[in-house]
Amino acid sequence: MYKRGLILRFPAEVVDQPIVWRLVKDFDLSFNILKATILPGKEGIMVMELSGHPKKVSQGLQYLRDLGVEVKPIGQEIHRKDEVCIHCGSCTAVCPTGALSVNRETMEVIFDPDRCSACGLCVTACVVRAMEVQLEREAL
């Protein structure tokens, strides 16, 4: 399952619509609201984790943008603790972006942070916990 941390800014015109419900019903997504300030007739702000199939998450985010909702990712990075990594390759099997790969000559796992989407799938796949998430949340 793919997970994204997001900051959503809702224009005043759409705060009375069942937007999160539509994400669940129409796109089969799960959510965890971390913080929300939404008042009738005023701009709303919500910090949430959205999870589901990568294609459905993408479609759900496009739905939000089409409504005029400003979507920003929560600053999140994946780091590898090189001294802990045993180069087993478990993380490479779940990486949707190819940021983790195996060098076939050396059989070492290569991590390219520039290709990483910070989905966190590698963190749960890593048996020795060499992969970790570091959050850099924006001030609200």
- pLDDT (0 to 100) of residue 79: 87
Give the three-class secondary structure for 55: helix
| 54 and 83 belong to one structural domain | no
Residues 6 or more apart whose Cβ sits within 8 Å of residue 55: none
- Can you give the pLDDT at residue 84? 95
Assign 118 to helix, strand or coil.
coil
Q: For residue 46, what are the domain limits?
A: 2-73
**CATH code, domain carrying 87:** 3.30.70.20
| pTM metric for this prediction | 0.57
Give me the pLDDT at residue 121, please.
Answer: 83
pLDDT truncated to tens, each residue of the chain (140 aa)?
788 888 899 999 999 999 999 999 999 999 988 888 888 889 989 988 899 998 999 999 999 999 999 998 876 678 899 999 999 999 999 988 889 999 999 999 999 887 887 777 898 899 999 998 776 544 33
Q: Are residues 42 and 85 in the same domain?
A: no
**Closest CA relative to residue 50, chosen from 29, 74, 71, 78:** 29
Write b or e for each residue in 1-40: b if 16 or more Cβ atoms lie within 10 A of its Cβ, otherwise e: ebbbbbbbebeeeebeeebbeebeeebebebeeeeeeeee
| Apex 136 CA angle, 54 and 32, nearest 5 | 45
Q: Please, how many CA atoms are within 13 Å of residue 48, restricted to the half-sphere of its CB?
A: 21
Same domain, yes or no: 83 and 125: yes
pLDDT value, residue 49: 86
Q: Does one domain contain both 106 and 56?
A: no
Looking up tokens 């300030």, which residue turns up?
37
CB 73 within 8 A of CB 4: yes
CATH number, domain of 67, equals 3.30.70.260
Q: Total domain count for the chain?
A: 2
